[in-house]
C-alpha cells in the first residue's frame, strides 16, 4: 500500500491520506502522533472530508460512525 500524506493546518490532526483500493481514510493526530484509520469511506466521503472547514468536527460527526481504529 502506498498512500500520499497531505499536511494540514488543524487543531486535531497533522496529516491525512486516502487509500482508494481499501476505501480507507488515514489521519495522524497531533496528540501523540497516533495514526488512525477509518474504513468503508467512499470517494465521496473522502472529498467531503477534504473540503470540510473543520476536520475534527467531520471526524466526530461522520468518520467515527465508520469502522475505525489504530492503523
Q: What is the pLDDT of residues 4-47, one digit of tens each?
A: 999 999 999 999 999 999 999 999 999 999 999 999 999 999 99
CA distance 69 to 52: 21
Q: Which three cell numbers stand for residue 19?
A: 487509500
Residue for grid cell 477534504: 50
> Is position 65 within any domain?
yes
pLDDT at 61: 96
Contacts of 18 (CB under 8 A, 6+ apart): 3, 24, 25, 26, 41, 46
Give the pLDDT confidence score for residue 59 in this predicted structure. Answer: 96
Number of domains in the chain: 1
- Is 12 inside a domain boundary? yes
Residue 1: inside a domain, yes or no?
A: no
pTM confidence score:
0.93
Parent domain of 24: 6-70
Amino acid at each position: 500500500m502506498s498512500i500520499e500524506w497531505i499536511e494540514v493546518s488543524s487543531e486535531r490532526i497533522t496529516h491525512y491520506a486516502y487509500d482508494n483500493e481499501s476505501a480507507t481514510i488515514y489521519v495522524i493526530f497531533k496528540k501523540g502522533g497516533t495514526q488512525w484509520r477509518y474504513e468503508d469511506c467512499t470517494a465521496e466521503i473522502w472529498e467531503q472530508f477534504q473540503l470540510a472547514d473543520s476536520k475534527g468536527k467531520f471526524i466526530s460527526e461522520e468518520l467515527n460512525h465508520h469502522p475505525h481504529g489504530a492503523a
